[in-house]
């Protein structure tokens, strides 16, 4: 079978780039997008090249950034514009193939294997895409071209901004193997530290490492990483138009009496979130949004939703966000007749790239996922009621689960 041609296109400095389009004056000076520009303690979410030259770094406070660069222009994020430009980028990619799979807001995979006759080889298409995005949108992208997704992604990181990097079927080893292992997709800082304990520092070290030993150490993830380091990745690029099989997963309960007690409410919300999370995990999905509907005894209903900081299917994540939605939008103690919790914006669990959240510890998330799957496997074995969702509560959290046996 002829090797595939896969592209990964990644916008360079996407948020800052869009902000400079909205306000071209920003182009000429160091600027940063900040969570809360009015507060000294707001955090830098993105910056342009000029700010980078002053040493301004993502995740530092405005106060720290201003010390390095007193002249730094600060702007709040305009999320709806980012979504719009993200769509415009994908529309350009779709001129070359239907197989466009967004991978986060500012990057997408493209399978152009069947487009080569029409548009030329992978590098030619990549160059065309870069030129088109620059001319039509005023943004720059870096594109990796290779025979699988993992190396295409690696290629888009290899040279920035506004560059095409080809990682060819013949001779990829000389480009890929000398790179630090952290350059591989799915190797975060924690995983890299873990690998470095095994003397694995480069992708070449990983490729040469004994596979069985790696699997013993890291489980299935070890096998996958070993494959990737050896250029083996068969994962397909999904069609942009592929029907999302399930659009949302929700669960609601009409209470046998109007609930007013806070602890009572928490227990019930936990049970709902647990059931939603369980169904997501069963389907191997994660959600990016959560909606809560609350109905009062007079059938007055409010619907509130929020976008989650990262995709999740963990009961406790859903619970925390659902409670937040309720407490912000509902006066505690006001009677509730019915609550519905719905998870939306679903995606395949293994595909979901966890947007960098500077406040979260990836090790902590892994720990929670491990705890969750331990609880799930007890349930698989002994039935759904063998263990209550209360088992997932962090120690010290108030327990409302006692009513459940
Ligand atoms: Mg990017």
Q: Dump pLDDT digits (tens) for 44-68.
A: 988 998 999 999 998 899 999 999 9
The pLDDT-based confidence of 391 (bands split at 50, 70, 90) is low
Structure tokens at 312: 């999740």
Q: What is the CATH number of domain 177-242?
A: 1.10.150.20
Return mean pLDDT, the chain. 87
Ligand 1 center–CA 12 separation, angstroms: 5
Ligand 1 center–CA 266 separation, angstroms: 39
Distance CA 278, CA 265 (A): 20
pLDDT recorded at residue 383 = 75
Average pLDDT of span 70-88: 92
Domain ranges of the chain: 1-169, 177-242, 249-403
Ligand 1 center–CA 27 separation, angstroms: 18
Answer yes or no: is pLDDT of 18 > 90.
yes
CB atoms within 10 A of CB 344: 16
Identical fold, 177-242 and 249-403: no
Instruction: State the fold for domain 1-169.
Output: Alpha-Beta Plaits (3.30.70)
Better-predicted residue by pLDDT, 377 or 8: 8
Average pLDDT of span 305-319: 91
Ligand 1 center–CA 10 separation, angstroms: 5
Catalytic residue among 101, 107, 324, 354: 107
Better-predicted residue by pLDDT, 8 or 295: 8
pLDDT recorded at residue 119 = 92
Answer yes or no: is pLDDT of 351 > 60.
no
Asked about 107 being catalytic, the answer comes back as yes
Axis-axis angle for helices 79-93, 122-137 (nearest 10): 140
Instruction: State the fold for domain 249-403.
Output: Dna Ligase; domain 1 (3.30.1490)
Separation of first and last alpha carbons in the chain: 57
Highest mean pLDDT among 158-172, 261-275, 307-321, 328-342: 158-172
């Amino acid at each position: 079978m002829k090797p595939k041609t896969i592209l990964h296109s990644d916008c360079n400095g996407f948020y800052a780039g869009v902000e400079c389009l909205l306000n071209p004056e920003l182009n000429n000076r160091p600027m940063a997008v900040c969570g809360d520009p009015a507060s000294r303690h707001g955090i830098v979410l993105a910056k342009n090249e000029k700010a980078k030259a002053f040493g301004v770094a993502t995740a530092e406070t405005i106060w720290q950034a201003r010390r390095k660069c007193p002249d730094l222009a600060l702007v709040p994020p305009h999320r709806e514009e980012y979504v719009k430009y993200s769509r415009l980028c994908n529309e350009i990619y779709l001129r070359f193939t239907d197989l466009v799979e967004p991978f986060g807001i500012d990057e997408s995979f493209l399978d152009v294997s069947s487009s080569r006759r029409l548009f030329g080889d992978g590098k030619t298409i990549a160059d065309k895409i870069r030129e088109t995005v620059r001319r039509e949108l005023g943004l720059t992208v870096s594109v990796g071209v290779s025979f699988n997704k993992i190396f295409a992604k690696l290629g888009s990181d290899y040279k920035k901004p506004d560059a095409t990097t080809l990682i060819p079927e013949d001779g990829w080893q000389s480009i890929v193997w000398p790179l630090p292992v952290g350059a591989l997709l799915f190797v975060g800082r924690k995983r890299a530290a873990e690998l470095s304990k095994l003397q694995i520092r480069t992708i070449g070290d990983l490729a040469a490492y004994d596979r069985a030993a790696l699997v013993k150490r890291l489980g299935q993830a070890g096998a996958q990483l070993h494959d990737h380091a050896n250029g083996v990745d068969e994962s397909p690029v999904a069609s942009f138009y592929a029907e999302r099989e399930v659009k949302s997963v929700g669960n609601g309960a009409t209470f046998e009496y109007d609930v007013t007690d806070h602890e009572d409410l928490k227990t019930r919300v936990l049970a709902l979130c647990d059931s939603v999370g369980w169904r997501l995990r069963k389907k191997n999905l994660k959600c990016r949004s959560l909606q809560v509907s609350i109905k009062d005894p007079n059938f007055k209903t409010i619907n509130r939703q929020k976008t989650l900081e990262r995709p999740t299917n963990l009961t406790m994540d859903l619970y925390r966000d659902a409670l937040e939605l309720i407490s912000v939008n509902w006066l505690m103690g006001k009677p509730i007749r019915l609550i519905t919790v719905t998870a939306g914006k679903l995606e395949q669990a293994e595909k979901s790239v966890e947007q960098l959240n500077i406040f979260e510890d990836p090790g902590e998330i892994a720990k929670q996922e491990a705890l969750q799957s331990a609880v799930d496997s007890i349930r698989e074995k002994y039935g759904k009621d063998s263990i209550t969702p209360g088992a997932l509560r962090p120690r010290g959290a108030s327990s409302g689960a006692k009513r459940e046996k």
